[in-house]
Structure 1
Amino acid sequence: MTRRRPSSRKPRQPASAKAKGPGRLRLIGGDYRRRQLPVLDRPGLRPTPDRVRETLFNWLATAVPGARVLDLFAGTGALGLEALSRGARQAVFVERDAQVARQLVDNLAALGATERAQLVTADAQAYLAGAPSPFSLVFLDPPFRLGLAGVCCRALEAGWLAEDALIYVETESSLPPEVPASWQLHREVRAGDSTGRLYRRHPPGAGSPGGDAC
């Protein structure tokens, strides 16, 4: 029986043992369609899936052009970037993780979108405790299992929303958010263990709401 000689080469690592490289975010519509941007490998960083974004922005087709957008718990900025790609006038991204925020700044620069964007490196609740200015479209995608959605929904009513604002809230499916009475469910979509709900703000005395929930 012939023995193999010891090899000086290092054993090949299985694919599962290799260090994970950065992921990619693909924009799916508008001026930046098909552009791919790097995404950091960070715990809890979960871009909204392509299918959900496509569905959401089909619903928002007439609302995004010219909109002033707030992307809370921005993470990769997938939703705010998609809005800018489709003609939003301005997007404010709020992200507390400094490394994730720096990557978002780099991605905005790569798209040539910095003039229409503002990045705020802060906790979303701390940001909402500041001086408000109204937005016509808000994306709210907080970390799961921390009970942040309802708190932030209530805080948005303190001057952060235009009268007829649209608010998209993404949470775990098992925990629907508690939203203000002036918000009416307009559409919803489920993907895996999360559900995205689009609300239309309808403050008291504003007349009949537009759109039907489904």
Structure 2
Amino acid sequence: MAFGIVAALAGSAATAQAQDKQRNSEIYHIFDIRTAAAKSAVTKAAEAGLRSNVSDSDITTPIVMGPPPEKPGRMEIVNALDSKSFGGLAGLMSAGQALQFKQARCDGAIWIANANRRVRGSQQLRLTFCLYPYRDGYQLDVYGIDSKERGGGIGAMLGRALAETVVGKAGDWTNKTILDVVRSIRNQTQATISYVEGQPEFTGTPWEENDALLPHATEREAR
């Protein structure tokens, strides 16, 4: 929780400085993972897929005792501004600033990962992964807040163009990070993956493609 709030405060400050040229969006995806693999094997595979793309991450493996439930858990999206501690602060913020305080709560998950990507003048992305066990395998829930810079002067636009040539387009990296986690689980545990739902929705089965090239070192350093 503390990790998300700190990231939200940083994102809120950035938004306040560029409200008129920043586009903020929420994303989420849910994957069904059918496999008999042990928890340790699945979480190890998930972490390997994440670390191939991210250097700034916070990973937790909570203790979840007892047999797996019949149905998987599901992440809950909460807003820290709803807490009484923040009073009427939300009313003083723009919609984009308030969005930065939303985060996923992963109660019952056996693996929780928070990852950040920051490319100055281009993108600030925060992703949360929640892995839930259940009788037939696992479910992976992903939630993210993606803030992209738009507009600005010639200098800002040239800076973003230069950043894209070095670290790639923001949307491509976002999808690659999510799919590499799913792909790593599939490849290392022989799991059968199906897409449950999401926004924006994935089409087809891109996790079955063998596009697992590692990003350039400068891309990971840009987080």
Alignment TM class, shorter chain as reference: under 0.3
Higher Cα radius of gyration: 1
What TM-score, normalized by structure 2, do the two folds share?
Answer: 0.27
Q: Which has the higher helix share?
A: 2
TM-score by structure 1 length?
0.28
